[in-house]
Amino acid sequence: QVHLQESGPGLVKPSQTLSLTCTVSGGSISSGTYYWSWIRQHPGKGLEWIGHIYYSGSTYYNASLKSRVTISVDTSKNQFSLRLSSVTAADTAVYYCGRDSRGMDAWGQGTTVTVSS
């Protein structure tokens, strides 16, 4: 059974870059069946799709975040990563990574990122 785990700093200063990594175990990122996704949830709010990546490196991003987002993959480590630049308090959220084909059928537990000086 696949397991996903987010890791990264829980506190980021305004204007800096948020960096998170998702480590996948129990399955290969290179299997070719899935896109590997990032979703976030602002406090008390709904879900926002950030973007996703295929094992080959092909990416798609939320248009509203596209100028600040980069998602990358490291198949040798079975990991994929999120970078969000120029963060503000509005980027404070729980960030989830997940596996997606016909729906996101596997999720990490989520990691809280707070943007504050």
Name the E strands within the chain.
Answer: 3-7, 11-12, 18-25, 35-41, 47-53, 59-61, 69-74, 79-84, 93-100, 104-107, 111-115
Q: Does 16 bind another protein (CB under 8 A)?
A: no
d(CA 62, CA 40): 11
Closest distance to another protein from the beta carbon of 69 (Å): 13
Residue 74 touching another protein (CB under 8 A): no
Interface with another protein, residue 63, by CB under 8 A? yes
- Interface residue with another protein, options 2, 5, 16, 49 (CB under 8 A): 49
Among 32, 43, 102, 117, binds another protein (CB under 8 A): 102
